[in-house]
Amino acid sequence: MTERSHILKTFGPKEIFCRQGTPADSLYILRKGRVGIYINSNADSLSDADILDKGIEVAVISTPNSIIGEGGIFLKHRTASMVALSYSTIIEEIPIASGDLFNIMKERPQLSMTLCRSLASRLVEVTEKVRSIAFLADGVEKAYDNFSIDYVHIINQARNLASENADFLRVVEELEDSHLYHHGKALEQHRKTTCMILNRESRQQRTGIMNLKSGDVLCEAGNMGRAFYLVRSGKLEVKVGNILVNTIGPDEIVGEIAVILKEAPKRTATVRAIADSMIHCIPAVKFYELAEEQPEFLIPIARSMAARLDTTNRLICNRSRESKHNITSLAGDPLSCEAQFSMIARKLSSFDDASEIVKSAQKEAVKASRLQESLFDSGLATNKL
């Protein structure tokens, strides 16, 4: 790409040099400073305020000579907005069309691998964002479960005290007609009568054809990745934590990120068959042989990773907003845990025998409110994940 016209541009904080949804006809190289990558759920006619105030920051790039915008070239449109975050951020712009890039990739295997590694690194980064969202969702769900059990325990105490007081009993029955109480009772029953057993099989085959039954695990997040896979038939799901990030079908590949990033060859997600599937396992050494001998082999892989990066970024955008909404189940909403415990304290405060129960309910209300505050303060529920 040395014969092409390179343009050096300098930007200040919050200056936007690339907008989501616009045509992609340039690659960028960060020479100095920091760049934020922002995603908006609606990319139509984005204003500066839309990007800076409503966009979700999915990545910050600060390593000099990092390639930026390569995903957009493969998809022919910008999948994210790019914003300078520091003074004197210097960007080198290289005008290039997707067809020209493909031709260069065929001629220069080293550049092909560099672009694939850049996309793979970005996918690892956004996958960690998804993992944070999954952690937040799990945390809120577990907290809600625990609060519901505590709610049932407090109501049971109140019912024992109210056995000979008709007015007291009537109030307790009103308090039992709540979502938190019903959820807690169902959870109690579930814990008493069921036992969840997770059978996970790890398949250690490294080459050849693998036949998976529905439910079999192909690879698990955190394990070493020494091969990638081509799906011959069937269907697989890709999950990060409890979040479904992709489904893979015939003639699609999976597991290539751990192979491309040799310095960090760990699986970023768990892949499980959701139908009987036939998988062709290709060892890492064979991958690099093909990349060297037939660099055009990397073009569909890079295009696939660019598409997945776009999909995962949009998933982060949508799920982060859902997470902020889910946190209101703890406090700040008329049906939140905080509100329902406060209701117990308010309704039972007129009964002398219920003073200890009132204190317990008030304590739980404060706990729910503080937990919500801590989740917001952690940054997991903000636009900067």
- Using an 8 Å Cβ cutoff, are 198 and 213 in contact? no
Q: Give pLDDT, residue 62.
A: 92
Residue 138 domain-assigned (yes or no): no
Residue 312 domain-assigned (yes or no): no
Residue 136 domain-assigned (yes or no): no
Phi-psi region of 173 (alpha: psi -120 to 50; beta: other; left: phi over 0): alpha
Residue 90 domain-assigned (yes or no): yes
Q: Give pLDDT, residue 183.
A: 81
Q: Give pLDDT, residue 31.
A: 94
**pTM as predicted:** 0.58
Residue 150 domain-assigned (yes or no): no
What residue ranges in 107-213 does DSSP mark as E strands? 208-212
Q: At what angle do helices 166-176 and 109-161 cross, to 10 degrees?
A: 170
Strand partners, 273: 236
Angle 107-110-115 (CA atoms, 0-180°, nearest 5)?
A: 100
- Using an 8 Å Cβ cutoff, are 366 and 360 in contact? no
Domain with residue 91: its CATH number is 2.60.120.10
Residue 250 domain-assigned (yes or no): no
Residue 18 domain-assigned (yes or no): yes
pLDDT tens digit at each of 385 positions of the chain? 444 567 899 999 999 999 998 988 888 999 999 999 998 877 777 889 989 888 888 888 999 999 898 888 888 888 889 999 999 898 998 888 767 878 888 888 788 888 888 888 888 777 777 766 666 666 677 777 888 888 888 988 888 888 778 888 888 888 888 888 888 887 776 555 432 322 222 333 344 788 999 999 998 888 888 888 888 899 999 888 777 888 888 878 888 888 888 765 678 889 999 999 999 888 888 888 888 888 877 877 887 788 777 777 777 766 666 665 566 677 667 778 888 888 888 988 888 888 898 899 899 888 888 877 776 665 544 545 4
Q: Give pLDDT, residue 300.
A: 79
Strand partners, 11: 89
Q: Give pLDDT, residue 375.
A: 67
Residue span of the structural domain in which 55 resides: 7-97
Residue 93 domain-assigned (yes or no): yes
- For residue 299, give the 3-state DSSP assignment: helix
Total count of domains within the chain: 1
Q: What is the residue whose two structure tokens read 């200056």?
A: 15
Q: Give pLDDT, residue 16.
A: 94
